Amino acid sequence: MGILEVSNVNKRFGGLQALGNVNLDIAAGTVHAIIGPNGAGKSTLLNVLVGKLIPDTGTVLFNGVSVLGRKPYEINQLGISRVFQTPEIFSDLTVFENMLIPCFAKRDGSFRLHALESIAAEKDLIEKAEHMLTEVNMADKRHMLASSLSRGDKRRLEMAMCLVQEPKLLLLDEPTAGMARADTNNTIDLLNQIHDSREITMVIIEHDMHVVFSLAKRITVLAQGSPLVEDTPDNIKGHPKVKEAYLGEAAA
Amino acid sequence: MLGLSKKDTTFLLIVIFLTLATPILLQPFPEGSALAQFNAGYPDLMQRFAIYGIFAIGFNILFGLTGYLSFGHAAFLGVGSYSVVWMYKLLSYNVLPGLILAVLMSALFALFIGFISLRRSGIYFSILTLAFAQMSFNLAYSVLTPLTNGETGLQVYTNDPQVLMSAGSPTSPHFFGIVMNESAKIDVGGWQFTFSNGYYFCAIIAIIVFYLSLRIFRSPFGIMLRAIKTNQTRMSYTGLNSRPYTLAAFVISGMYAGLAGGLLASMDPLAGAERMQWTASGEVVLMTILGGAGTLMGPVLGAGFIKYFENIFSKINDNILYAWFSALPEGLADALVFMLHPFIGKGWNLTLGLLFMLVVIFLPGGLMEGGSRIWGLITGKNRKSKKAGKDPEHHPKPSAHVN
């Protein structure tokens, strides 16, 4: 039994079958990549996993608990964090304040009115935030405004904000989209380092094959809304069906 | 001190000093001099500074921190005023029960209005709050006349119960015997300073609520509100439901508005429906933006600025202008007066409007941004001016990636 089980998920947008009978079983502690050509339904699948879309049929179980119909913040509280294609950070806040928000969220869960407490008194949380910033090599940028960071640093910060909550499952939506090669490699190193040190299960949706083959332990190829093959990276590389899906019939 | 950092404590002490010394600071011109009409140190106006300052501080907790622009905050102002006058009518002229009721009632109102309005954000939220405020205004004006006395306005009549009144009780608003409209006048040289009970009552409350807002700004709650303003998507994917936070901010700012409304009725024991009209809601938006939304001191400055214009500029008339230009040849004086005429007296709104436009266009951060820019020029700490010095044709570095 995996940490995340997707069974028989179907989703239609009008006449378009975005997801057809998707079955996925993601083992705990693995790095699972979902790849596929444009329009294969990767983003739709991800949106189903985080509760943004409700599928027409099927179930999505996280550790045996259904995530369907839950709000994004409830799903996060179950232990699922998401990294976006364009980094979603609090750009008007400083890097350090950005780190504090997930720390508070993790501690308090739902709403708690602490309107007259001082942030400086929260020594544990400050230490936790500092520690995480050091781990992603951003401690020297703590007083910078998040909006003034480079794309790579924004990604780093977003990742740190997810990790400080100690999620059980990290969903990454094209984590290196729009990055230069150097930044991409940095991100790959960071993700590998995170995975090695914490054994977090990761699901990566990615276009860039270089990224996929540097990270994934297991790969699912999605085409036209349905899983085509699921295998290890080595077996996927030469798989004829995959070539066909990406390059069309002629290449097969 | 008081749970504040060293910097904030200094800041608070400066604010306390300025507030307490206002009757002196706003009276810079000697009595009888030509400029004496620019003096603002009379109780009525100073009380307005403090009260509208409180109103704007509260509004800023909602708008400045969360970015939710409410166009209906005047409703809470009205609720506060009516509560206080009702307490006069039922109990006595002591303002304390009224003020407590004002804060509680406006909190209830804000909870109700906020619960419904906060289902939407952006312009829809603004329109919903505006609709609620206009509804409250119309209810107060014509429907709920037994409660509000309609267009006449609510006031105390001699046949009201006033159960706590005894023979010796003051017959105007007071705080345990300290009568609001009493004051001490002190003459120093040519200057006359008025120290009024009413002003100091408002000023002390203003200092307390300013301190509370300072604490809110620096608290985990404050940082959450700023996060909501910046990115609600990340907020929800961080496991936080933003609704309770915005609702709490809405209720807190509603309570500030109710307190301000209550204080208005504490200075002058009347409450009219026009206090709830949309113009009053718009005024607090102007105050906050003019002073600098999201800054601590900005809204207070904005409130002071607008109230100063309303009371001082509106009193300048053509005769005063002629007196100023008396040294000039008659034709020139006529021309100048003709040109300035639309901007003074009843035209003070025009001056204020132009000023508001200038601030919004050139100082998007409000008067506070202007202040910090000037401070930067004086101390040379301004980074922009330094860079400009080194690299006159400074261009921003091209960003490495397309976002």
Same domain, A70 and A178: yes
DSSP chain A: --SEEEEEEEEEETTEEEEEEEEEEEPTT-EEEEE-STTSSHHHHHHHHTTSS--SEEEEEETTEE-TT--HHHHHHHTEEEE-SS----TTSBHHHHHHHHHHHHHH-S----TTS-GGG-HHHHHHHHHHHHHTT-GGGTTSBGGGS-HHHHHHHHHHHHHTT--SEEEEESTTTT--HHHHHHHHHHHHHHHHHH--EEEEE-S-HHHHHHH-SEEEEEETTEEEEEE-HHHHHT-HHHHHHHH-GGG-
Look-up of token digits 């991409």: A184
Do the beta carbons of residue B94 and residue B175 sit within 8 Å? Answer: yes
Residues A9 and A132 in one domain: no
Contacts of A119 in chain B (CB under 8 A): 218-220, 223
Query: pLDDT at position A147, please?
Result: 92
Furthest-apart CA atoms within chain A: distance in Å: 68
B236 in contact with A at a CB cutoff of 8 Å?
yes
CATH number of the domain encompassing residue A186: 3.40.50.300
pLDDT of residue A122: 84
Task: Indicate the DSSP class of residue A218.
Answer: E
The answer to whether the Cβ–Cβ distance between B236 and A92 falls below 8 Å is no
Q: Is A176 on the interface with B (CB under 8 A)?
A: no
Region B367-373: mean pLDDT is 90
Question: Which helix (H) or strand (E) segment is B33 a member of?
Answer: none
DSSP assignment of B202-246: HHHHHHHHHHHHHHHHHSHHHHHHHHHHH-HHHHHTTT--HHHHH
Q: Where are the beta strands (DSSP E) in B99-227?
A: 154-155, 174-175, 178-179, 183-188, 191-196
Residues A127 and A208 in one domain: no
- What is the predicted pLDDT for the residue at A1? 65
Q: Shortest CB distance from B236 goes to which of A73, A91, A114?
A: A73
Residues of B in contact with A91 (CB under 8 A): 230-231
Q: Cβ contact (<8 Å) for A118 and B235?
A: no
Closest CA to B23 of B207, B263, B191: B191
A118 touches chain B (CB under 8 A): yes
pLDDT tier at B1 (50, 70, 90 boundaries)? low
- Where do we find the tokens 């609090």? A90
Last residue of a domain, one of A166, A191, A224: A166
Closest CB from A118, A151, A158 relative to B3: A118
Decide if A189 contacts A155 (C-beta within 8 A): no
Question: A178 and A154, same structural domain?
Answer: no
Please indicate, yes or no, whether residues A61 and A102 belong to a single structural domain of this protein. no
Instruction: Answer whether A48's CB lies under 8 Å from A11's CB.
Output: yes
Residue A84 counted as domain residue: no
Nearest to A105 among B5, B212, B239 (CB): B239
Domain boundaries along the sequence of chain B: 6-26+39-277
Distance from C-alpha of A94 to C-alpha of A67, rounded to nearest angstrom: 32
The mean of the pLDDT values for chain A is: 87
Q: What one-letter code names the amino acid at A115? A: A
CA distance B379 to chain A (A): 22
**Residue A206, token pair as written in the block:** 């990615």
A60 and A6 Cβ atoms separated by less than 8 Å: yes
Work out the number of other CB atoms within 10 angstroms of the CB of residue B84: 32
In chain B, the residue whose alpha carbon lies closest to the alpha carbon of A87 is B234
Is A148 an 8 Å CB contact of chain B? no
Number of domains in chain A: 2
Q: In chain A, which residues have their Cβ closer than 8 Å to the Cβ of B221?
A: 113-115, 117
- Is the model's pLDDT at B157 over the cut of 50? yes
Residue finishing a domain among A129, A148, A166: A166
Q: Name the band, by pLDDT with cuts 50, 70 and 90, for residue A251.
A: very low
B223 vs A: CB within 8 A: yes
Please report residues of B whose CB lies closer than 8 A to that of A179. 401
Give yes or no: residues A2 and A64 share one domain.
yes
Q: Counting one residue from A and one from B, how many pairs have CB atoms under 8 Å apart?
A: 119
Is A71 in the B-facing interface, judged by CB distances under 8 Å? yes
Q: Is residue A33 a part of any domain in this protein?
A: yes
Contact A90 B234 (CB under 8 A): yes
For residues A107 and A230, membership in a common domain is answered with no
Phi, psi of B172 (to 5 degrees): -145, 165
Kindly list the residues from chain A whose CB atom is less than 8 angstroms away from the CB atom of residue B5: 120
Give B389's pLDDT tier (boundaries 50, 70, 90).
very low
Q: Give yes or no for residue B403 having a pLDDT over 80.
A: no
Minimum distance, in Å, between the CA of residue B40 and any CA atom of chain A? 34
- Shared domain for A18 and A65, answered yes or no, is yes
Residues of B in contact with A183 (CB under 8 A): 401
Q: Is A85 helix (H, G, I), strand (E, B) or coil?
A: coil
B364 touches chain A (CB under 8 A): no
Query: pLDDT (tens digit, 9 = 90+) per residue, B6-47?
Result: 889 999 999 999 999 999 998 888 888 878 888 888 889 999
Yes or no, beta carbons of B400 and A97 under 8 Å apart: no
Question: Distance, in angstroms, between B114 CA and closest chain A CA?
Answer: 16
| Cα A219 to chain centroid, rounded | 15
Cα distance between residue B169 and residue B164, in whole Å: 9
The region of weakest confidence among A16-20, A51-55, A248-252, B220-224 is: A248-252
Phi then psi for residue B86, to 5 deg, are: -65, -35
Q: When comparing pLDDT for B126 and B327, which is higher? A: B126
Same domain, A142 and A30: no
- Tell the residue number behind the tokens 């942030």, with chain if given: A119
Of B223, B227, B234, the CB nearest to A119: B223
Q: What is the pTM of this model?
A: 0.89
Residue B164 has pLDDT above 90, yes or no: no
Higher-confidence residue: A117 or A201?
A: A201
> What residues does A57 pair with on adjacent strands?
A10
Do residues B49 and B303 touch, judged by C-beta distance below 8 A? yes
Cβ–Cβ under 8 Å, residues A42 and A68: no
**DSSP structure class, residue B260:** H
The 10s digit of each residue's pLDDT in B55-113 is 999 999 999 999 999 999 999 999 999 999 999 999 999 999 999 999 999 999 999 99
Q: What is the C-alpha separation between B218 and B13, in angstroms, rounded?
A: 17
List, for residues B324-343, the tens digit of each pLDDT value.
888 888 888 888 888 888 88
Q: Which amino acid is at A179?
A: M
Residues of B in contact with A124 (CB under 8 A): none
Q: Tell me the pLDDT tens digit for each residue of A134-149.
A: 988 888 998 999 999 9
Residue A167, token pair as written in the block: 């999620």
Q: Which residue of A has its CA nearest to B214?
A: A116
Per the CB < 8 Å rule, is A71 touching B241? yes
B218 closest CB neighbour out of A73, A118, A158: A118
Of B221, B236, B238, the CB nearest to A161: B238
Residue A24 lies in a domain: yes
In this structure, are A114 and A234 located in the same domain?
A: no
Contact flag A88-B231 (C-beta cutoff 8 Å): yes
Count CB-CB contacts under 10 A for residue B339. 10
Output the six-digit token pair for B81. 């005023």
What is d(CA B11, CA B368) in angstroms, rounded to the nearest whole number? 14
- Find, in chain A, the residue whose alpha carbon is nearest to that of B212: A116
pLDDT over 90, % of chain B: 53
Interface of B with A in 247-286 (CB under 8 A): 248, 252
Q: Same domain for A200 and A161?
A: no
Structure tokens at B310: 């309303």
Note down the domain range covering A238. Answer: 1-79+167-252
- Does A64 lie in the same domain as A179? yes
- CA end-to-end distance (rounded Å), chain A: 34
Q: For an interface test with A, which of B65, B228, B234 has the most A Cβ atoms less than 10 Å from its Cβ?
A: B234
Chain A touched by B355 (CB under 8 Å): no
Give the nearest chain B residue to A108 (CA atoms): B240
Pairing state between β A201-205 and A31-35: parallel
What is the rounded CA–CA span in Å between residue B401 and residue A176? Answer: 12
* pLDDT at position A143: 92
Q: A166, A191, A226 — which closes off a domain?
A: A166
Residue pair B53/B300 in contact (Cβ under 8 Å)? The answer is yes
